Amino acid sequence: MTTTRQKIKWRRLRACSACDMVSAIPVLRPGEHASCPQCGHVLARRHLHPVQRSIALATSALLSLLIAIAFPFISMDTNGLDTQIELPQTAVTLVDVQQPMVALIVSCTAIILPALYLIGVMIMQANVLRTVPRAYSDVIARLFSHLHPWMMADVFIIAALVSLVKLTEIGEVQLGVSFWAYCVFAALLLMTTRSVDIDWLWLRLAGEPAADTRIRCGISAAAQHVTGCTTCGLVNTLPTIAGAAAVCKRCGSKLHMRKPNSLEFTWALLFTAVILYIPANAYPMMITTSLGQTHASTIIGGMLELWQHGSEPIAVVIFVASVLVPIIKMLILILLSWLVKHPGPLNAQQKTRLYHLTELIGRWSMVDVFVVAIMVALIQSGNLMSVLPGPAALAFCAVVITTMLAAMALDPRLLWDTQGNTHD
């Protein structure tokens, strides 16, 4: 009897961040993962030699990024006029042409945030390996989940390939060492993010406080007046006194039964995105000057030009990423926000799949912005030939960012509450 009670006391409980059901995490071996039995959301995963694996991948990725920054990215020969750019110039040139906000977004998503993430992985995993006190390791661990959606190295690679198709119509294009190094970096960055198990890291950093023996598995956390910490995952009992501050007993993060004002923030951000989507499509995305003649093209106009010049696959990529994806994402978020208050014909699993779809596709709309950044950096020859970003560039960046923030603001657990789960 004593052994059974000890097992119950020291079991590791997690409340699913997607559906709120409480589950007990079993002992996992390398290569295994634990998923929520109700919605299938991954709760934890384990890797062989996780510390060494993450450090090796992060170090390799960072070295690849340094090579990508140091060497030429793309060079082009147009009627005897040779030009080449390095990776940082995709952002620096945007500053020179009076687009500092777009430059900041491009540099952060393609270079700065991925580099900070990799450095954070190396520092934190080294501290775990050396059993150094968690002084700043837990701060880095808190940032991990917030950085993931904003690292867009893979999107930048697709944008570079789209740019190549456009550039080959102008002159002879050659890919530099930097391009291939950045491709390696994007692949290693993806492998690094997959190698980091936040659940295991918090277990190593701060241990696992004993779970409340009254908490039951198989039902929602809200129904038991407990909640899972959005930072470290630990299930905490919420205070019974109204207005009392609730903090995680492991990492110190603030706790809430549901994201505060989730629907209000989601609707506000969606409304902003819908308004911004109008100038993003009505105004030119790119302004091209060739032999003194200026031509401005919108997103749709640029796509039609690609189609007319025989680049149908690239035109389809631009259409899907820049037109379909933002519209689909906004429509899905509007539908889900409405379904929070009205059950509708979809069940909770279907609504959760739609929500995860918005998380997956939203960032790919940045393809067109990255294409503009590359074209602007490479083609700057005055009246002979030059490319400038149009006013739609900043508006479209704002659309992408606001729709991503809207998806983050919406609490998917509310979709399960509508199906019958209740909370105080």
pLDDT of residue 420: 55
CATH code of 260-424, in short, is 1.20.140
Structure-token match 């393609």, residue found? 110
pLDDT at 191 over 90: yes
pLDDT of residue 118: 93
How far is C-alpha 226 from the geometric centre of its chain's CA atoms? Answer: 28
| Dist. CA 90–CA 179, nearest whole Å | 13
pLDDT of residue 242: 60
For 114-164, how does the pLDDT look when each residue is reduced to its tens digit (9 = 90+)? 999 999 888 888 888 776 655 566 677 777 777 888 999 999 999 998 888
| Dist. CA 189–CA 52, nearest whole Å | 15
pLDDT at 383 over 70: no
pLDDT at 106 over 90: yes
Q: What angle do CA 368, 189, 130 make, to 5 degrees?
A: 150
pLDDT of residue 57: 95
pLDDT-derived band at 397 (thresholds 50, 70, 90) equals very high
Q: In a 3-state reduction of DSSP, which class is residue 182?
A: helix
Q: How many other CB atoms sit within 10 Å of the CB of residue 104? A: 15
Residue type at 111? I
pLDDT at 94 over 50: yes
pLDDT-derived band at 230 (thresholds 50, 70, 90) equals confident
Q: 126 or 1: which carries more pLDDT confidence?
A: 126
pLDDT at 251 over 50: yes
pLDDT-derived band at 1 (thresholds 50, 70, 90) equals very low
What is the DSSP secondary-structure string of 314-336? HHHHHHIIIIIHHHHHHHHHHHH
pLDDT of residue 48: 84
Burial class of 59 by CB neighbour count within 10 A (0 to 12, 13 to 18, 19+): middle
pLDDT at 170 over 80: no
Instruction: State the chain's mean pLDDT as an integer.
Output: 85
Q: Read off the DSSP letter of residue 87.
A: T
Q: Where are the domains of the chain?
A: 9-46+208-237, 260-424
Q: What is the mean pLDDT of residues 181-208?
A: 89
pLDDT of residue 147: 84
| Percent helix / strand / coil, the chain, rounded to 5 | 60, 15, 30
pLDDT of residue 182: 95
pLDDT-derived band at 9 (thresholds 50, 70, 90) equals very low
List the structure tokens of 113: 């945030």
304-308, 390-394, 406-410: the lowest-pLDDT one: 304-308
Q: What is the mean pLDDT of residues 27-31?
A: 87
pLDDT of residue 6: 41
pLDDT of residue 124: 84
Phi and psi, residue 419, nearest 5°? -80, 0
Q: In a 3-state reduction of DSSP, which class is residue 176?
A: coil
For 254-269, how does the pLDDT look when each residue is reduced to its tens digit (9 = 90+)? 888 889 899 999 999 9
For 305-360, how does the pLDDT look when each residue is reduced to its tens digit (9 = 90+)? 778 777 778 888 888 888 888 999 999 999 999 998 887 788 888 899 999 998 88
Residue type at 202? W
pLDDT of residue 2: 38
Q: What is the mean pLDDT of residues 404-417?
A: 92
Of 365, 359, 362, which is closest to residue 41 (Cα–Cα)? 359
Q: How far apart are the first and last CA of the chain?
A: 34
For 174-184, how does the pLDDT look when each residue is reduced to its tens digit (9 = 90+)? 888 999 999 99
| Dist. CA 417–CA 423, nearest whole Å | 8
Percentage of the chain surpassing pLDDT 70? 91
pLDDT of residue 291: 65
Q: Give alpha helix (H) positions in 24-176.
A: 50-70, 89-96, 100-107, 113-130, 137-147, 153-168
